[in-house]
Amino acid sequence: MQRAENAMHEYTAAPRIYFIIFAALMILTATTVGVSFIELGQLNLTVALAIAGTKALLVLLFFMHLIHSNRLTWIAIAGAVYFFAIMIVLTISDYATR
Amino acid sequence: MSTDHAAPAHSALRHHFDTLDQQRDASLLGMWAFLVTEVLFFGGLFLAYTIYRMSYPAAFAAGSHHLNIVLGCINTAVLIGSSLTMALAVFAAQQGNGRNVARFLLATMFLGTMFLGIKAIEWTHDYEESLIPGLAFDAKIWAHEGMPPLEAKQFAGEGELFFVLYFSMTGLHGAHMIIGMAVMAFYLRPAWHGRYSRDYYTPIEGLGLYWHFVDVVWIFLFPLFYLVGTRGSH
């Protein structure tokens, strides 16, 4: 196959990794549902959010190819996390201390 | 690397870019920047959810128990499955297999439609059970045994707030899915006819980023709405 001189040079993941990530996401979903039936008090929310965060990270890193993305992409995402954190933390610090 | 300046530029290369690489980086950064604004778009609703859940934990748990956890689970699996088919569509595009790109996009659209269909069933049940704020909301079902009327009214109001957030957030999420699938439909034909190859498949990749983002939103919505409070003890 003849490639154009200005071809894109990027990472190509083997599809196997997508199936592995899919299986991991399914297992984590089953885990979070299972844990929701166990009485852990405040820990229930912590565990649910930790599992959701892990699932989101797997999707970002592998399905969205973040693991092979350039630094500028990471900065953009850090921006999203940073501003979202500001919004949540500052508002809660208000509500929680009234 | 050799520099064969006589090689004709790729037909997808726009004149304001030097190379396809540069064009791809710019396009994908643009998609990521859009997704950053989406994080803050959904973020406002997540913030409202956080504040009201902190304020009314009991009503949120009661509201959550009105939702069908089985359908929620099935939908989570369906949406994760659609992310898998989307990732495979991007992979097929990288391989220059246009037929498979179209097939996997169709599979993604099928699973996306299935998700919305199940959501429609859930919302129909919610309507029948009078859980639609402002339209069909029955305050009476929220009262516990021996609850003073005023307290019961307050509790029902807090539960109504749970459902306001539930319908706002799953509704906004559903709207994003409809938009995603509509955009996908436009790429089926060019994909089938071999428009995308190892050298150029940026539109499919950008579409993939958007679809996976919608999946990530649901990954958080699912535990926040379906898994509030322990179910075993109720």
- pLDDT tens for each residue of B34-56: 999 999 999 999 999 999 999 99
**B161-206 pLDDT tens trace:** 999 999 999 999 999 999 999 999 999 999 999 999 988 999 999 9
Average model confidence (pLDDT) for chain B?
92
> Which pLDDT belongs to residue B154?
92
Average model confidence (pLDDT) for chain A?
88
Burial of B9 (0-12, 13-18, 19+ CB in 10 A): middle
Which residue of chain A is at minimal alpha-carbon distance from B69? A33
Disruptive mutation site among A2, A8, A26, A36 for chain B (greatest number of B CBs within 10 Å): A8
> Which pLDDT belongs to residue A6?
43
Q: Residue A82 above 50 pLDDT?
A: yes
pLDDT-based confidence at residue A11 (cuts at 50, 70, 90):
low
Q: Residue B77 above 70 pLDDT?
A: yes
> Which pLDDT belongs to residue B135?
87
Q: Chain B contact for A24, CB < 8 A? A: no
**B131-150 pLDDT tens trace:** 999 888 888 888 887 888 88
Contacts of B54 in chain A (CB under 8 A): 92, 95-96
Q: Domain B20-226: give its CATH code.
A: 1.20.120.80
Q: What is the mean pLDDT of residues B66-93?
A: 96
> Which pLDDT belongs to residue A2?
42
Q: Which residues pair with B137 in a beta bridge?
A: B131
Q: Residue A3 above 60 pLDDT?
A: no
Q: What is the mean pLDDT of residues A18-33?
A: 96
> Which pLDDT belongs to residue A12?
66
> Which pLDDT belongs to residue B209?
97
Q: Residue B207 above 60 pLDDT?
A: yes
Q: Could you tell me if B227 and A48 are in contact, meaning their C-beta atoms sit under 8 angstroms apart? A: yes
What residue ranges do the domains of chain B occupy? 20-226
> Which pLDDT belongs to residue B4?
53
> Which pLDDT belongs to residue A5?
42
d(CA B115, CA B151): 37
> Which pLDDT belongs to residue A10?
56
> Which pLDDT belongs to residue A4?
44
Which tops the pLDDT comparison, B229 or A88? A88
Subunit contact B84:A91, Cβ cutoff 8 A: no
Which residue of chain B is at minimal alpha-carbon distance from A42? B229
Q: How far is B131 from chain A (nearest CA, A)?
A: 23
> Which pLDDT belongs to residue A13?
67
Q: Residue A1 above 70 pLDDT?
A: no
Which ipTM score applies to this complex? 0.90
Which residue of chain B is at minimal alpha-carbon distance from A19? B84
> Which pLDDT belongs to residue A25?
98
A85: its two tokens: 């954190």
Q: What is the mean pLDDT of residues B17-34?
A: 92
What percent of chain A is modeled with pLDDT above 70?
A: 87
Q: Could you tell me if B116 and B205 are in contact, meaning their C-beta atoms sit under 8 angstroms apart? A: no
User: H helices of chain A, where?
Assistant: 15-35, 43-58, 71-95
SS (H, E, C) chain B: CCCCCCCCCCCCCCCCCCCHHHHHHHHHHHHHHHHHHHHHHHHHHHHHHHHHHHHCHHHHHHHHCCCCHHHHHHHHHHHHHHHHHHHHHHHHHHCCCHHHHHHHHHHHHHHHHHHHHHHHHHHHHHHHCCEECCCEECHHHHCCCCCCHHHHHHHHHHHHHHHHHHHHHHHHHHHHHHHHHHHHHHHHHHHHCCCCCCCCCHHHHHHHHHHHHHHHHHHHHHHHHHCCCCCCCC
Q: Chain B contact for A2, CB < 8 A? A: no
